[in-house]
Structure formats: C-alpha cells, structure tokens
Amino acid sequence: MRHNIKQLHEEIKTGSFLALARGITAVENNLEGYEWLLSNLSSDQKPRVVGITGPPGAGKSTMVNALLQHWLKENKKIAVIAVDPSSPFNYGALLGDRIRMSEFYTNPHIYIRSLASRGALGGLSAKIIEITEVVKEAPFDIIVIETVGVGQSEVEIAGLADCTVVALVPEAGDEVQTLKAGIMEIANIFVVNKADRENAETLYRNLRMLAHEKAIDGKEIPVIKTVATNNTGIADLANAIATYLKENEELPEKRLELLTEKSWQLMQVQQMKSISYQQLRSELKNAISGADFNLYAFTKAFLDRSVNNHIR
C-alpha cells in the first residue's frame, strides 16, 4: 500500500475511520502490508462483539438501527460490520451501507462497513475474523456484526461474537421445533421481532419453552419481544445484551474452536506457498496417463517433494 502500513496502524488506534477503512480493504484483499498489520494488532481495550443473526425478513437491519439509536444516547462508539450476499457480477456487497443505516452514515460515533460473503459458508465473509480483529484495534465500545441470515448453517457467528442475538418473526412460529438444535446452539438471546403481528405470542411461548428445556444451572436464554420499527422493546434488548456481556467475560469454548480452525487454515496457507500450481498441473498431466496412476499417492509424493525443496 502506498499509505505506510505502520502509520496506518497508529491512525487506526486513534480512531480514524479513513485509516480503518484502508486497513480493512488491505486485509480483505491481501494488499501489501496486510500481514504486518495483522501480526501487530496489540490493543488492550478490546470492544465486545455482538452478533445479530436470523432468517431473511426478520428485520435485523431495522433492529440494528434501533440499537444504534439507543447506544448513541448512552454516548457509546459503535462499529457495524454488515455482511451482505455477494453480487454475482463483481463479488461486491450487494446491498451495502449506501442503503441501510443511511441516517448514521456521517455520524462520527458510528462506523459502518459492508462486506460481501463471497460465497463463504456460514453466512460470513471469508476474512471476517481478520477484519473483526482490525476493527477491535480502534477505540469502539461495541462491534455489531449483522450477518446474511442463512439459518441453521450460520454457526460461525457463535464463535466470533461475545453475544449472539437470534432474531425471529411470528411467521417462523411453526419452524421453531425443526430449528431447535441449530438455534439453541447459536443463541445467547432470542428476539421475537415484529411482535405486534399475529402469532407473535405463540412464537414467544414456544421460545420460552425451548429456553426452559435447555436451561443450564437454572439460567434460561432470555426471550425479548421487540417492534424495531418503533423502538418497542429495544431498551430491554440492549439491557439483556449488556447483562450477558457482563456475566460472560471468559473466552467461550466456541471461540477457541473457531480460532483453532482459523490458525489451522493459516498454517495450511503458509505450507501451500511452497507449491507451484503450474508445476502440479504439468506433473499431473504426465502422471495421469500411467497405468498405475493413483491420485492420492501422487498428491502425497508431490507434496513431500515440494516441502523438502522448500526447506532446502
């Protein structure tokens, strides 16, 4: 990057939104200096991460808007990472911060960044862990990650967030039983959004029963009713989030699993640097015509040679 990466790092720590935007872009696109930046993240004042997830149509963006208004009144500084479906044309964020949360776009206390999921499983961007760590380096009080909302498969957010809020709407009432396993794994707080609609009370009762069945040491997962469009229940939701964060400050087991998996992937990437794709293709082309060709034996032998050559 033309912008000196060390200077960029210092500016991120002072709260420069421009520097933060450049840092995220560098990490997301593997630009020059991104590895140095990631290796030198060292801030002690780590903001807590709140994940907002749920099926499409649950009103997640409206809920985030309402929470932002609430937290601004408490003089908090907030970062929002909104993960959007990828555009099939340019792999950019399809919705983007130009449309959502527009009223906060110029607010000096709120930073909003849209990321494309780019086909990553779990509803999150492939670089979401790295990007979240860069955002943590800035002086925010809370980081909100709003996800694509792909249902049960979106378990990665549970490892990334300190508190995961699962938003549902009354129309999902009949699906609660089938979603039981996946949702109970993810949720630290349930929200029945659009609670002024028909069947909201039924969904609320079903969730309360699930929470009671899954209670650990007498602690049930909170179930909050909201109507995010008019801020009903938002203060209760913010209080439930604050209470959960205060009572759960240790590293969650799911976070350890997520970081272990990420570290494993990084090791694989480093190991792959010694391997030439073109050389692999060339040798495979020659080997594949052999009568005794075996893909797995070939791959092991090729990998062993590549690693040994790299060590030398």
For 131-143, the pLDDT digits (tens) are 999 999 999 999 9
103 and 180 part of one domain: yes
57 and 175 part of one domain: yes
**Which comes out higher in pLDDT, residue 242 or 219?**
242
**Which comes out higher in pLDDT, residue 200 or 180?**
200
Distance CA 264, CA 260 (A): 6
- Reported as a single tens digit per residue, the pLDDT across 39-83 is 999 867 689 999 998 887 888 989 999 999 999 999 999 999 988
The pLDDT score that the predictor gives to residue 86 is: 47
Residue 261 counted as domain residue: no
Instruction: Tell me the C-alpha to C-alpha distance, in Å, between residue 274 and each of 45, 54, 287, 306.
Output: 37, 41, 20, 6
The pLDDT score that the predictor gives to residue 175 is: 58
The pLDDT score that the predictor gives to residue 225 is: 97
The pLDDT score that the predictor gives to residue 92 is: 43
15 and 27 part of one domain: yes
At residue 271 the predicted structure's pLDDT band, cuts being 50, 70 and 90, is: confident
Residue 266 counted as domain residue: no
Residue 195 counted as domain residue: yes
59 and 192 part of one domain: yes
Q: Which is nearest to 51 in space by CA: 140, 155, 184, 138? A: 155
Q: Is 80 exceeded by the pLDDT of residue 118?
A: no
Residue 256 counted as domain residue: no
The pLDDT score that the predictor gives to residue 183 is: 63
Average pLDDT taken over every residue of the chain = 82
4 and 146 part of one domain: no
Sheet holding 48-53, edge to edge: 110-116, 78-84, 142-146, 48-53, 163-168, 189-192, 223-225
Residue 67 counted as domain residue: yes
Q: Is 70 exceeded by the pLDDT of residue 303?
A: yes
Mean pLDDT of 121-130: 66
194 and 110 part of one domain: yes
Name, in order, each residue with C-beta under 8 angstroms of 194's C-beta and a sequence gap of 6 or more: 59, 169, 170, 200, 227, 228
56 and 186 part of one domain: yes
Query: Could you tell me the CATH number of the domain that includes residue 192?
Result: 3.40.50.300
The pLDDT score that the predictor gives to residue 304 is: 83
Residue 264 counted as domain residue: no
106 and 192 part of one domain: yes
Distance CA 34, CA 130 (A): 10
The pLDDT score that the predictor gives to residue 112 is: 92
Q: Which structural domain range is residue 291 located in?
A: 274-311
Distance CA 29, CA 118 (A): 12
162 and 77 part of one domain: yes
At residue 98 the predicted structure's pLDDT band, cuts being 50, 70 and 90, is: very low
113 and 243 part of one domain: yes
283 and 222 part of one domain: no
Note if the pTM is more than 0.75.
yes
Question: Minimum mean pLDDT among 208-217, 271-280, 302-311: which range?
Answer: 302-311
48 and 18 part of one domain: no
Residue 259 counted as domain residue: no
Specify the number of domains making up the chain. 3
Residue 238 counted as domain residue: yes
Question: Minimum mean pLDDT among 69-78, 146-155, 273-282: which range?
Answer: 146-155
| Crossing angle between the packed helical segments 17-28 and 5-14, to the nearest 10 degrees | 130
The pLDDT score that the predictor gives to residue 270 is: 77
What is the separation of C-alpha 204 from the centre of its chain, rounded to a whole number of angstroms? 26
